[in-house]
Chain A
Amino acid sequence: MLTCKELVARSSDLLDGELSFRERMAVRRHLMLCRNCRRFIKQMKLTQAVIRHMPESQGSDLDDLAAFLAQQRRDNP
C-alpha cells in the first residue's frame, strides 16, 4: 500500500489529473483509510483556491495602456 509520504509526493499529479488509472486507484484506497492524507489533500486544494483568489497586482495604468493600444489600432487598421 502507498505510504503517506508517497501520497504527498503524488499529490500534485492527483490535483492535475496526471495519474494513471492504477495510481488513481491506489491513491483513492489510501485516502479512504487515512484521515491525515484526506485532510492534507483537502488543504492542498484550499491552497490552490486561495492562490486563485488572491488579488492580482495590476499595473495602475491599465486605462492609459488601453487608450494607447486602441489608438495604435485605429491608426494602423
Chain B
Amino acid sequence: MGLPADVDLLPRLLAGEQGAFRELIGAYQGAMRAVAYAIVGQRYADEVVQDAWLAVVRNLSGFQGRSSLKTWLLTIVANTARSRLRQNRREVLLDDLPAPHGSVGDARFAEDGHWAATVPAWHEDTPEALLTEDELRECLEKTLLSLSDLQRSVVLLRERQGLELEDICNLLEISLSNVRVLLHRGRLKLFATLEHFEETGQC
C-alpha cells in the first residue's frame, strides 16, 4: 500500500496545496473514521472526523514530526472524539452480537479438543480471487456490520490499517487484553463468513 511519506507531504501541506490534502485524506481518513466510530459510535463519527480535520489544519504548523503524521492524526481524532463524548465512558462490551454465519465455536471440536470434522479447503487462495464475487463482498460487509462499533474499529484498525495492538489500545483507551479478545472474535466471525461462502457459494 503506497502511503505518502511524511517528508514529502508535510511541506506541501504547510503550503496549503490541495493535492497534498487530497493524499492525506485518501490515506488516513479510513483509519480516522474507525477511531471515531470506536469512541463515539456511528452517529457522531462523521462530525468528529470533520472536527478533527479542522484541528489538524489549525495545528499543522505545530506538528513536530516526533511521531508520524498518521499517529498524530489518529491522536487528534481520538482526542476530538473523547472530548465530544465527555459523558461516562461506554463499557467495553465483550458480549458478541450474532454474526450472519456464527463463528468457530465449541461445536467444531470433539471432546478431546481436536477438530470434529475436516476443515474444508477453500477453492480460491488469493484475496483478489475471493473478492471477485460481489456477493461475498456484500456478505463480508454484513458481517462487519454485525460487529459492535468498537469491535469493528479494532478489526479495521488492525487488519486494514495495520496499526500495532498497543497503539489501538492507547487510542481507544481499552486494555490490551480487550483488544486481543475483540480482534480474535471478530476475525473468527469473518473467517466463518468466508468459509460458509466457500462451502455453499452463498451468503
* Chain A residues close to B by CB (< 8 Å): 3-6, 8-9, 11-13, 15-16, 18, 34, 36-37, 39-40, 42-44, 46-56, 58-59, 62-63, 65-67, 69-74, 76-77
The reply to whether A52 and B160 contact each other, CB–CB distance below 8 Å, is: yes
Closest to A74 in B: B16
Bound-state CA distance A74–B190 (Å) is: 44
Contact of B191 among A34, A47, A56, A66 (CB under 8 A): A47
A18 cross-chain contacts in B, Cβ below 8 A: 165, 180
The reply to whether A62 and B26 contact each other, CB–CB distance below 8 Å, is: yes
A70 cross-chain contacts in B, Cβ below 8 A: 16-18, 20-21
* Chain B residues close to A by CB (< 8 Å): 13-14, 16-22, 24-26, 29-30, 53-54, 56-58, 60-61, 104, 106, 109, 112-115, 118-119, 121-122, 125-128, 130-131, 137, 140-141, 155-156, 158-160, 165, 180, 183-184, 187-188, 190-191, 194-195
The reply to whether B194 and A36 contact each other, CB–CB distance below 8 Å, is: no
Contact of A65 among B25, B141, B191 (CB under 8 A): B25
Known contacts: A5-B109, A53-B128. The answer to whether A62 contacts B25 by CB under 8 A is: yes
10 nearest A-B pairs in the assembled complex, by CB-CB distance: A3-B113, A74-B16, A12-B184, A66-B22, A73-B16, A66-B21, A70-B18, A49-B127, A53-B127, A5-B113
Bound-state CA distance A6–B109 (Å) is: 10
The reply to whether A72 and B127 contact each other, CB–CB distance below 8 Å, is: no
Contact of B131 among A50, A63, A65, A66 (CB under 8 A): A50
The reply to whether A47 and B187 contact each other, CB–CB distance below 8 Å, is: yes
Task: A12-B187, A46-B125, A70-B16 are known; give 18 further A-B pairs, CB within 8 A.
Answer: A4-B113, A12-B180, A16-B158, A18-B165, A36-B118, A43-B191, A47-B187, A47-B191, A48-B159, A51-B156, A51-B190, A52-B159, A54-B160, A56-B160, A63-B22, A66-B25, A72-B54, A73-B21
The reply to whether B58 and A76 contact each other, CB–CB distance below 8 Å, is: yes
Contact of B159 among A42, A51, A71 (CB under 8 A): A51
The reply to whether B122 and A48 contact each other, CB–CB distance below 8 Å, is: no
The reply to whether A16 and B165 contact each other, CB–CB distance below 8 Å, is: yes
The reply to whether A46 and B122 contact each other, CB–CB distance below 8 Å, is: yes
The reply to whether A50 and B127 contact each other, CB–CB distance below 8 Å, is: yes
Bound-state CA distance A51–B131 (Å) is: 10
B20 cross-chain contacts in A, Cβ below 8 A: 70
